[in-house]
């Protein structure tokens, strides 16, 4: 079986600049990318590590999924993203093991990444995202 690796750890923050003050400025992680994802309604910062990245997510409105998460649970760990070699095979394997997925087919972002989410109740309270890079 091909290896699965950690792609990123996602953290929900209230204020992107304040969070960058810690992760980038105080801790010294480089800022790899800062962007706005209108479809997910978030600002995103990626801070690369030797292996994987830290992803900071800040809602851009009060109604996005991340804003609702922030209001309910507060800032902190949001999800872990695992990189898989074939997302459709992985999704089928999960279905075969009665794992609940949050989307039936992989979504595709602007860069061609295919991704899906595993419901936290199937992953012992952890929201898990799967990526297949183009």
Pairing of strands 76-83, 5-12: antiparallel
pLDDT score recorded for residue 129: 97
Contact between 55 and 46 under an 8 Å Cβ cutoff? The reply is yes
pLDDT score recorded for residue 39: 87
pLDDT digits (tens, 9 = 90+) for 91-128: 999 999 999 999 999 999 888 999 999 999 999 999 99
Structure tokens at 50: 């030797």
Helix ranges (H only) for the chain are 16-20, 65-73, 87-96
Rounded CA separation 75/36 (Å): 19
Residues 61-68 have a mean pLDDT of 95
């Amino acid at each position: 079986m091909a290896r699965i690796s950690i792609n990123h750890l996602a953290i929900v923050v209230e204020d992107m600049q304040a969070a960058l003050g810690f992760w980038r400025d105080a801790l010294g992680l480089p800022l790899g990318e800062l962007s706005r994802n209108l479809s997910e309604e978030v600002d995103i910062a990626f801070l690369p590590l030797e292996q994987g990245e830290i992803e900071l997510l800040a809602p851009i409105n009060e109604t996005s999924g991340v804003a609702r998460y922030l209001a309910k649970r507060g800032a902190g760990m949001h999800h872990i993203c695992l990189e898989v070699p074939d997302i459709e095979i992985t999704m089928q394997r999960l279905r075969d093991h009665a794992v609940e997925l949050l989307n039936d087919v992989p979504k595709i972002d602007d860069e061609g990444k295919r991704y899906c989410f595993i419901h936290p109740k199937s992953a012992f309270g952890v929201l898990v995202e799967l990526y297949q890079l183009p």
